[in-house]
Amino acid sequence: MIVLGIETSCDETAAAIVTDAREIRADVVLSQLDDHTPYGGVVPEIAARAHLQHLDGLIRRAMAEAGVGFGDLDAVAATGGPGLIGGVIVGVMTAKAIAAARGLPFVAVNHLEGHALTARLTDDVAFPYLLLLVSGGHCQLLAVEGVGRYRRLGTTIDDAVGEAFDKTAKLLGLGYPGGPLVEKAAARATDPGRFALPRPMLGRPGCDFSFSGLKTAVRRHVEELGAPLSAADRDDLAAAFQATVAEVLADRCARAIRRFKEDHPQGGALVVAGGVAANTAIRSRLATLAAAERMPFVAPPLRLCTDNAAMIAWAGIERFRLGQSDPLNFAPRPRWPLDPTAAPVIGRAGVGSGVKA
């Protein structure tokens, strides 16, 4: 089975060709970083226009790299949500056009499911497994029990962890995107234990997260130090922030592991996915936790942590081989929870329920 995947949910335009033998024949991503950096974040209208301008060319490039034509495809999969709706529409309409013109099945993929199933593409991880999904718009702990079967154990009550990285980077004068820049600054720190920061939700019952107060604490330190920050102040504060996030994520995961094992005594892996999963300090902390809990630990290759079309193609394959596809009147969805039965989140509207901020 050969599937074309299309991803346009945020600020990466991507196309990929993937087979059901877990072979990524082509995986091309065009970053819009230069377009959005002057604004300190993603501008939805600019993102949608960039997708519209570049997507056709990226699809042609992916198919050329894979050595396939439209006649070789078995299906077309595209991110159907959640995400910035203008971008999602571009990808969905392009996929529908290809499907209609070539008589191919169309699969609308939940972007979060793409991240959730990436470990099965890269490592053939068996169900069930415990997933920490962390990115700029998402922070959730999920029991992944099968394709389309997700049970949310915890989520953020305010900000996603990737958003906290971006805003901390801005406070420190590091620029955008925040995650890689904070990590680089933290690696240069000479006194990583110099600043004391709160550990939101640490040790509390449940598996939920909170990062708003942590951002506020970073801002207060910056105000006390005065502008401009010295290189040492900036790097030490970045290291303190990163270490705090890693500790909080590990604490929340430890609680989720206990719940997961109660429901699944046969065990399963601990998987981390999403853009923040590219952070090596966080990966290391979670690997240590998994080893202590005697659980396999799986983190996708760095290039498959951030948004990409290979994961969308693979999720499409997972669904299609179960006999699932979508009609051509499918409506793109700005919100699309993986666990529609989960209780609404008290706090910022949409967070934890499938919104991609």
| pLDDT tens digits, one per residue of 159-197 | 999 999 999 999 999 998 899 999 999 999 999 999 999
- 65-111 per-position pLDDT tens digit: 999 999 999 999 999 999 999 999 999 999 999 999 999 999 999 99
Q: Are residues 146 and 248 in the same domain?
A: yes
Residues 197-221, mean pLDDT to the nearest whole number: 95
Pair 301, 280: CB distance under 8 Å: no
In total, how many domains does the chain have?
A: 2
Q: In Å, what is the CA distance from 58 to each residue of 53, 55, 127?
A: 10, 5, 33
Q: Which is more confident, 213 or 33? A: 213
Looking from the CA of 101 toward its CB, the CA atoms found within 13 Å total 10
| Upper half-sphere CA count for residue 143 (Cβ side, 13 Å) | 19
Of 246, 278, 295, the residue that ends a domain is 295
Contact status, residue 172 vs residue 234, Cβ threshold 8 Å: yes
Conformational region of residue 185, where left means phi above 0, alpha means psi within -120 to 50, and beta covers everything else: alpha
Residues 140, 288, single domain; the answer is: yes
Q: Omega of the bond prior to 177 within 30 degrees of 0, cis?
A: yes
Question: Residue 24: is it exposed, middle or buried by C-beta count within 10 angstroms (0-12/13-18/19+)?
Answer: buried
Q: Confirm whether 310 is domain-assigned.
A: yes
Q: Are 193 and 228 within one domain?
A: yes
Cα(290)–Cα(189) distance, rounded to whole angstroms?
27
Is the pLDDT reported for residue 349 higher than 50?
no
Work out the pLDDT band at 233, boundaries 50, 70, 90. very high
For residues 96 and 20, membership in a common domain is answered with: yes
**Cα 50 from Cα 324, distance rounded (Å):** 31
Give me the chain's average pLDDT, please. 94
Do residues 257 and 270 lie in contact, with contact meaning Cβ atoms separated by under 8 Å? yes
Are residues 92 and 172 located together in one domain of the fold?
A: no
Q: Answer yes or no: do 291 and 145 share one domain.
A: yes
Based on the domain organization, do 178 and 96 belong to the same domain?
Answer: no
| 28 domain residue, yes or no | yes
Residue 106 domain-assigned (yes or no): yes
Rg of the chain over CA atoms, in angstroms?
20
Mean pLDDT of 10-19: 96
Is residue 258, in this structure, part of any structural domain at all?
yes
Q: pTM of the full predicted structure? A: 0.93
> What is the rounded CA–CA span in Å between residue 282 and residue 299?
11
**239/131 same-domain check:** yes
Asked whether residue 343 is assigned to any structural domain, the reply reads no
Verify cis geometry, omega within 30 degrees of 0, for the bond prior to 128: yes
192 and 256 housed in the same domain? yes
Distance CA 147, CA 150 (A): 8
Question: How many residues are present in the chain?
Answer: 357
Cβ partners under 8 Å of residue 308, min gap 6 = 7, 12, 14, 16, 27, 29
State which residues form the domain around 132. 126-295
Query: Same domain, yes or no, for 160 and 282?
Result: yes
Inside any domain, residue 7: yes
Q: Which carries the bigger pLDDT value, residue 14 or residue 177?
A: 14
50, pLDDT greater than 70: yes
Classify residue 127 by burial, with Cβ atoms within 10 Å: 0-12, 13-18, 19+: middle
- The answer on 77 and 130 residing in a single domain is no
Are 154 and 96 in a shared domain?
no
311 found inside a domain: yes
In a domain, residue 337? The reply is no
Q: What is the CATH number of the domain that holds 289?
A: 3.30.420.40
pLDDT tier at 352 (50, 70, 90 boundaries)? very low
For 133, the enclosing helix (H) or strand (E) is strand 129-134
Beta bridge partners of 26: 17
Q: List the beta bridge partners of residue 141.
A: 132, 154
